[in-house]
Structure 1
Amino acid sequence: MTDGRVGTQPGEKVRIGTRGSALALAQTRQVADALAKASGLEVELVTITTHGDTATESLSQLGGVGVFTSALRDALVRGDIAVAVHSFKDLPTAEHPDIELGAVPKRADARDALCAHDGLTLETLPEGAKVGTGSPRRIAQLKALRPDVEIVDIRGNIDTRLSRVFGEAGDDRRLDAIVLAAAGLGRLGRSDAVTQHFELGDWPTAPAQGALALEVRRQKDATAFGRALAKGLAAINHATTRASVAAERGVLAGLEAGCAAPLGATAMVDDGLLFVTATVYSVDGTDQLTSSHAASLEGNGQAALLEAAEDASARVTEELLANGAADLASLGGAR
């Protein structure tokens, strides 16, 4: 008999927690397949409903912090699952006392994408076009480039949102375009709906967009099962992605901005340096502040990458606050 907790009996499956949306299930299946191959263990997906899945408020009203992750974390702490898979951008930046980051797989496309009628781009959309998004950052970016468009707040899964653009022409709820994460569209096989990708240099996205976070309990399982799971997690961890995401989220944490704030951040590792750029927008898109810094990699491995990420993100945060970022948006990091 087993008490239902992961790793209590040899041969037990690795129970992997996920939200139940089509996107969450698609990305978790990819993770599960990779983890099974790397660890040699059987896996089982456990679907968990979060507050964000049932709430009807817009993202800005929800606040964003933990609404898509808390239920998964609770299940992990209870031992109902061994691994929780999150869209990394949904995770709070504060550390959890009982949970740690087990792995960060290689990042997918971090860009945003426009899905519009007739192959239209943001520039070629007609004046007054209706563009759907529930993200304060995307709203600010749209208003900055196309102040004439009408922003329509939307929620729902990707197919539901796409139906607002590509559904029946006579539907009075029909939109001219929507903005979505390219990674989600790709994971669901819907990249065909994209009419324009926004390049990160001009249109930075949410910290950690396109990346997944695999969380595990801090208390280690010393059994053969636990060691095999740890080996599998280490094998699918992508060090460069983990450091880049840490740098972006370091800015988010330093500004105490919350994942719904009008903030975009992009980090990359190249030629022995870790670069991070972040932009804070006014809610109406009329103003913005940008800061960019780089840090040298002093050594090899994950620790050196994370140290550089912390260094660069701290300098970006300090410069943004010194230049008045808190006057543009509601940021708790203003001291």
Structure 2
Amino acid sequence: MTGSLRVGTRASALALTQTTTVAERISSLSGAVHELVRIRTEGDVHKGSLTQIGGTGVFVAALRDALLADRCDLAVHSLKDLPTVPAEGLNVAAIPERADTRDALCARDGLTLATLPDGATVGTGSPRRAAQLRAARPGLEVIDIRGNVDTRLARVAGLSESGPGDLDAVVLAAAGLFRLGRESVITELIDPAVMLPAPGQGALAVECRTGDAVDSPFAAALKDYDHTTTRLAVTAERAVLRRLEAGCSAPIGALATVTGDVLTLQAVVCSLDGTQLLRLARSGGDLSVDGADALGVGLAEDLLAAGAAGIAPLTAQ
């Protein structure tokens, strides 16, 4: 490690905002001065749909390469973008307290999911959101879109000064809008009963080299920054995804919550066209990381036994 704490980040406005918050907090806890290292990822270079260019993991690989090459000391990811298989030589040393997990509808004229007229166009780059939108409102036209938050919002009439917009609404992660101070564009926070979020949505992951997680000037700060309840919840959610052998962009939603001494996990597997949804839940009292992982694997087994592999494009059988 050099004299300052080098924190790797993508260069988008949201990534820079998230990374700056993390870097400032770790600096405060460790006493180290930080600097941001901007890394360009494949997801930033190629503008095709996520399913075409390899799923949301394309945003992660370059940051991990930078860590392994000692071009930065930490990398900050949106946890929902992180592949469920650990990277050799790297460790997710801190998962800060989670922000809002919900998806947000940003629509013209203050419209909600219930009041959008049939035939209205709604943009999203997520097969999970698209499938659940089609299930909740079969009369909507769901459009596949890419781009950063501002680019997407600019496509909705009345939500941007850059043009009239060609869509009636877009769906984005609420957490990102709140972090950017753009919550005024939200016309509805979609109830998880209608749209389960992506596993890990609303959470950030702070990744470092394995040795630095236990033997570095900032190791103690990372340990203090880790939020136990959030880690348990996202561990359970990501275990569902891992057991189903599905990518980050698969039409799968999951949400775990801790209430008292009980961890409750819900998950949904959707057909891409939204005509089939399989939604199940499980609860457990083992509030350890291993217990959370086992809960997620168990729910995934329940989903497979109920026919999940015949609904969504999964590798697991």
Structure-1 residue corresponding to 2:50:
59
Equivalent-residue separation in structure 1 for 2:39 and 2:163 (angstroms): 37
Structure-2 residue corresponding to 1:300:
none
Equivalent-residue separation in structure 1 for 2:198 and 2:305 (angstroms): 22
Question: Could you tell me whether the CA contact under 8 Å between 2:43 and 2:56 is conserved in 1?
Answer: no
In structure 2, give the amino acid aligned to 1:327.
G
Which residues of 2 match residues 232-251 of structure 1 at below 5 A? 232-251=221-240
Q: 1:222: how far off? A: 7.8
Look up the SS of the partner of 1:314 in the other structure: helix
Which residues of 2 match residues 190-205 of structure 1 at below 5 A? 190-205=182-197
Taking structure 1 as reference, are residues 183 and 60 closer, same or farther at Cα in structure 2, changes over 3 Å only? Answer: same
Task: Kindly report the root-mean-square deviation, in angstroms, between the aligned alpha carbons of the 2 structures.
Answer: 1.5
Question: Could you tell me whether the CA contact under 8 Å between 1:15 and 1:81 is conserved in 2?
Answer: yes
Structure-2 residue corresponding to 1:15:
6
Structure-2 residue corresponding to 1:260:
249
Equivalent-residue separation in structure 2 for 1:99 and 1:266 (angstroms): 25
Q: Does structure 1 residue 306 correspond to structure 2 residue 295?
A: no
Structure-1 residue corresponding to 2:307:
324
Q: 1:97: how far off? A: 1.4
Structure-2 residue corresponding to 1:30:
21
Look up the SS of the partner of 2:282 in the other structure: strand
Which residues of 2 match residues 214-225 of structure 1 at below 5 A? 214-220=206-212
Structure-2 residue corresponding to 1:206:
198
Q: 1:291: how far off? A: 1.7
Question: Could you tell me whether the CA contact under 8 Å between 2:200 and 2:238 is conserved in 1?
Answer: yes
In structure 2, give the amino acid aligned to 1:244.
A
Question: Could you tell me whether the CA contact under 8 Å between 1:110 and 1:181 is conserved in 2?
Answer: yes
Taking structure 1 as reference, are residues 256 and 120 closer, same or farther at Cα in structure 2, changes over 3 Å only? Answer: same
Which residues of 2 match residues 95-244 of structure 1 at below 5 A? 95-165=86-156, 166-167=159-160, 171=164, 174-220=166-212, 226=216, 228-244=217-233
Question: Could you tell me whether the CA contact under 8 Å between 2:243 and 2:300 is conserved in 1?
Answer: yes
Q: 1:312: how far off? A: 1.0
Taking structure 1 as reference, are residues 157 and 35 closer, same or farther at Cα in structure 2, changes over 3 Å only? Answer: same
Runs (4+) of structure 1 exceeding 3 A deviation are 167-171, 220-223
Q: 1:62: how far off? A: 2.2
Question: Could you tell me whether the CA contact under 8 Å between 1:35 and 1:233 is conserved in 2?
Answer: yes
Look up the SS of the partner of 1:183 in the other structure: helix
Q: 1:19: how far off? A: 0.4
In structure 1, give the amino acid aligned to 2:146.
R
Larger Rg: 1
Q: 1:65: how far off? A: 5.0
Identity %: 50
Ranges in structure 2 where 5+ consecutive residues have no aligned partner: none
